Amino acid sequence: MPGVQIDPKNEIIQLRHLRKSFWTTEGEQQVLKDVSLNIRKGETMVIIGASGGGKSVILKHMVGLLQPDGGDVLVENKVISDANHFDTDTIRRKMGMLFQMGALFDSMSVGENIAFALREHNPGIPEESVEEIVARLLGLINLNPAFASKMPSELSGGMKKRVSLARTLAVEPEIVLYDEPTTGLDPITSDVINDLILDTQKQFHVTSVVVTHDMVSAYKIADRIAMLYQGHIIFVGTADEVRETHNPYVQQFIRGMRKLESVPE
């Protein structure tokens, strides 16, 4: 478990009664029914739950890609997202997101991908500064500076995610959101990504929110774990508390049981 000391009173993100529905050919599908969650500054909060259950939908509300049908997202006690508006300035200044598939620009080299976010946030930045920062970030993700000239098509899935993390960190966000960072990776590469998440938290003192169904990853990186079930957060606790809880739905998920079993008191 991470050893970073977290002040439980210092909450940086608050989700208050988030609701979100989508319309399908079968009618309205209510994905988030009433989601409330408080995330402390400097911690790594991992959100677990079944595939298609709405974990990524929560992240997209935090970063302003979706508007809620009801409820609020607050950052440092300021509402940044409600049913009528987004505070895009706060989102851009404070947040970075690592998408599930990396979302690199195929037509740009690795260096250009990392530099893209840097230039967007710092118009007029000298080119020598850009090159210096790109090289430093490549070193942070354990890639040789020579990788700056490579194209995304030349990279493995794990390398793409590492480059995407470097691009995210280029703008020095206070909050980093990770959408299924280990999906599609072998166990060894997954562990490399886990270590990068931990190193990023320690070196940059960021707050991390990680969506995953990979319990090996969750146990390794989380300060706390939140369980999303049928549109609600039903449990929040440390890795040890998750393992020891008698909540049958949490136990069903972490033990990979197809059928719900009763858990003795």
Contact 46, 194 (CB under 8 A): no
Element (H, E) at 117: helix 110-121
Domain spans of the chain?
11-102+173-254
Please tell me the distance from the alpha carbon of residue 218 to that of residue 212, in angstroms, as a whole number: 7
> Rounded to whole angstroms, what are the CA distances from 254 to 112, 137, 250, 257?
40, 35, 6, 8
Architecture of the 11-102+173-254 domain: 3-Layer(aba) Sandwich (3.40)
Angle, alpha carbons 165-93-108 (nearest 5°): 40
Write out pLDDT tens, residues 194-245. 998 998 888 888 999 999 989 999 999 999 999 999 999 999 999 999 999 9
Q: What pTM was computed for the model?
A: 0.86
Please list, in sequence order, all residues whose beta carbon lies within 8 angstroms of the beta carbon of residue 93, skipping any fewer than 6 positions away: none
Please tell me the distance from the alpha carbon of residue 219 to that of residue 2, in angstroms, as a whole number: 10
| pLDDT at residue number 263 | 45
Per the listing, tokens 């079993």 go with 261
| pLDDT at residue number 261 | 57
